[in-house]
Structure 1
């Protein structure tokens, strides 16, 4: 593990490869952004036509790359004409792109930051364009200290490795308990099994992300498939925990022991799964958009927040029925469960709201740390909740005994 930490810090890199179109209506386009630490960062860019205009020609067309500091970027966006957008920036580079489909010569530039970290935005334009063209653009960024990671991504490697260790310990502990209980009773506790599946998905996802970052640190690209798997596994883990909390709020393990009729929940669960996978897809498409300073901003964030809030309302509606039949002792048990579950559902909306009080480059780390901390707390809480020592367990159908606090 310590070797992995060392390797992750050796040569971190950001490489951008994208395809964009310039048209008569849109002759100016955003390419990428980079949060530079204090000092002088550097960048380079090369461009080629997506499809050659004339393979045998040695001619080229000229395009302009402009650099905008974050304080000027909104001014560029509100301008109507291509010329006005370009005029907002004082830093320009000219690109001569061969029409035969070969790469242009690589242009280089610097980003000077004096007082504190800034985002810098790069655009490509041709205000005198006569027809629509598609281009492939490749860029590299370099921090003053030699790192290629944008400032909002720095430090996430240590966050994910720390969470990975915690999930590994939790998963091992729960699996040992499951095996011991199975040997005693020849029966598996469904709730603990479902919880372990959720932890397992999260564990696999973080392994994928750590490996992706590790490879990314060497080639500036990483392994995109691993990053996608991380998002999918994280999504599945979140869905399982959401379903588990909602099913418990209906009275499972409290009023009845058997898992509820799947016909009631499967359609809703499938809908939630499909929506979350669509969110993952949207997130991949828009991940380097100029308006996203974290993985949870933009359209992706709106969808995630909406789903969490809707699920929370469903959870609260179910919990009201449990409170109606609970005595004073079990009322306290339900309170602890309800507060922790509500924290899980509402952490993302609250954290995203708080993150807007931070500088843009700090939002991503803050959101990732806060969301993962809540995820860890929920896993630890549910693990304790399903243990034989908890008041919840003793007052539930899992204990197999009728206690004064149990709902009948």
Structure 2
């Protein structure tokens, strides 16, 4: 198990961004023959004219091989022979010079293009491959920038994410300047909500660190089309840690609901530390952690985003896990609120559940909603929407557990109804 975790972690951290918008590699005739065309990269060109630049280190060898780049708007080519597949290419770039510039005509809407390499040996299985060295290449792809010049490295589905992360970091900075001192004082005092506030602060800090890494990666990416792949992977790692931290906190708080079927109100919101509750919470957290690593590993050939819209098996299992947790929480909430007579307690439970629902359901709901958008908008809708919704969820929980008018009054009603209530601490004199 530890070896499997290490492999997933290494893949999440250190795998290179094979589909970057500045791609350097080697054209291999053997690979092109094996795959009926060597797959190079993909890029979503915008509606206006885009540009593809290919630079070779040995143009004479490319001419000898009759090398060419093929651009396909659709890669659903199963069942076709090699010649039929290559004939479906929308554009063909014959590689005869050290540098080639290909303009992609204006499209009615942003279109995803796939780039393949082929040569004279690709569809000739009976021809012996030469022993010549392979041709090294560098491919650059550009969309029009704000001035209409083809100089923008961002693919259409990524346009705007750089500005979003800048505004997000600005919001984090302003909020920290306003609230860092009161929050620091609350954490120093300890008290009934200390553990919850500490986990919330750690999760929010990790999300801020993830946003910073994404911004740094995209800032460099906008200049060279490569960015810092390791920094982009670190952004995903920080976000994964924040996800499992929040999940463990919410499960630990809700375990009194889920494990107390006979007496659902005996400990409705208790931070459980019994062996059974700890095992259940840890098991669910580990399951989510493995699914997150699996999802990142299966999406290793995509761009560095914390949330993906691909319909891979681990992504679907993650969505199913979050939906299940939300349904369990809804079921227990109904049992508690239907018999609770105190309006104040009911308001507290409902506010807590709103924060939980927002955290658990935002990703599944946004993935479903994104299906009505165009292809180039889906990734941005999910990425931006989930980050904003989870940030709002953290704010809702912060307000709930920092509120003297709600949490403290509710906790003072009953010494067994809320976690770490005033009657349970040994520091009553401090309050």
TM-score normalised per structure 2: 0.73
Provide, for residues 127-174 of structure 1, a one-character-per-residue CA deviation record: whole Å limited to 9, x for no partner.
225579998764211223221211111111111122223334445555
1:153-172 aligned at under 5 Å gives the runs 153-171=158-176
Q: CA deviation at 1:387?
A: 1.4
Match of 2:116 in 1: 123
Match of 2:326 in 1: 312
The correspondence for 1:271, drawn from 282, 287, 293, is 287
Contact in 2 for aligned 1:305/1:348 (Cα 8 Å): yes
Once residues 218 and 207 of structure 2 are traced to their aligned partners in structure 1, the CA distance between those partners, rounded to angstroms, is 16
Provide, for residues 7-48 of structure 1, a one-character-per-residue CA deviation record: whole Å limited to 9, x for no partner.
xxxxxx931346787265521244222222233211023578
Provide, for residues 174-196 of structure 1, a one-character-per-residue CA deviation record: whole Å limited to 9, x for no partner.
54234323555688700000000
Contact in 2 for aligned 1:212/1:227 (Cα 8 Å): yes
Once residues 355 and 404 of structure 2 are traced to their aligned partners in structure 1, the CA distance between those partners, rounded to angstroms, is 18
Match of 2:422 in 1: none
SS in 1 for 2:123: coil
Match of 2:428 in 1: none
Provide, for residues 358-406 of structure 1, a one-character-per-residue CA deviation record: whole Å limited to 9, x for no partner.
111122222222112201211111111111245345323xxxx126995
- Compare 333-342 and 154-163 and name the one that shifted more: 333-342
Q: CA deviation at 1:239?
A: 1.7
Cα distance change of structure 1 residues 110 and 79 upon mapping to structure 2, 3 Å threshold:
farther
More strand per residue: 1
Match of 1:302 in 2: 316
Equivalenced residue count is: 370
The correspondence for 2:393, drawn from 373, 378, 382, is 378
Give yes or no for the alignment of 1:37 onto 2:52: no
- Compare 16-25 and 212-221 and name the one that shifted more: 16-25
Match of 1:85 in 2: 85
Give yes or no for the alignment of 1:365 onto 2:372: no
Once residues 275 and 38 of structure 1 are traced to their aligned partners in structure 2, the CA distance between those partners, rounded to angstroms, is 36
SS in 2 for 1:109: strand
Q: CA deviation at 1:258?
A: 5.0
1:3-402 aligned at under 5 Å gives the runs 14-17=21-24, 22=31, 24-46=33-55, 60-69=64-73, 73=74, 76-95=76-95, 105-125=98-118, 126-129=122-125, 138-144=138-144, 145=149, 146-171=151-176, 175-184=180-189, 189-251=194-256, 255=268, 259-261=272-274, 262-283=278-299, 285-287=300-302, 295-299=308-312, 301-316=315-330, 318-319=332-333, 322-323=336-337, 326-327=340-341, 329=343, 330-389=345-404, 391-396=406-411, 401-402=412-413
Please, what is the CA RMSD of the aligned residues? 3.7
Once residues 90 and 256 of structure 1 are traced to their aligned partners in structure 2, the CA distance between those partners, rounded to angstroms, is 61
Once residues 346 and 192 of structure 2 are traced to their aligned partners in structure 1, the CA distance between those partners, rounded to angstroms, is 30
Structure 1: segments with no counterpart, 5+ residues: 1-12, 50-56, 97-103
- Compare 187-196 and 149-158 and name the one that shifted more: 187-196
Once residues 79 and 174 of structure 1 are traced to their aligned partners in structure 2, the CA distance between those partners, rounded to angstroms, is 60
Match of 1:101 in 2: none
Contact in 2 for aligned 1:388/1:394 (Cα 8 Å): no
SS in 2 for 1:286: coil
Once residues 404 and 334 of structure 1 are traced to their aligned partners in structure 2, the CA distance between those partners, rounded to angstroms, is 16
Contact in 2 for aligned 1:43/1:109 (Cα 8 Å): yes
Contact in 2 for aligned 1:246/1:314 (Cα 8 Å): no
Cα distance change of structure 1 residues 128 and 44 upon mapping to structure 2, 3 Å threshold:
farther
Match of 1:53 in 2: none
Structure 2: segments with no counterpart, 5+ residues: 1-19, 258-265, 420-431
Cα distance change of structure 1 residues 163 and 86 upon mapping to structure 2, 3 Å threshold:
same
Cα distance change of structure 1 residues 194 and 172 upon mapping to structure 2, 3 Å threshold:
farther
Once residues 348 and 264 of structure 1 are traced to their aligned partners in structure 2, the CA distance between those partners, rounded to angstroms, is 23
SS in 1 for 2:115: strand
- Compare 159-168 and 355-364 and name the one that shifted more: 159-168
Once residues 287 and 358 of structure 1 are traced to their aligned partners in structure 2, the CA distance between those partners, rounded to angstroms, is 20
Match of 2:7 in 1: none
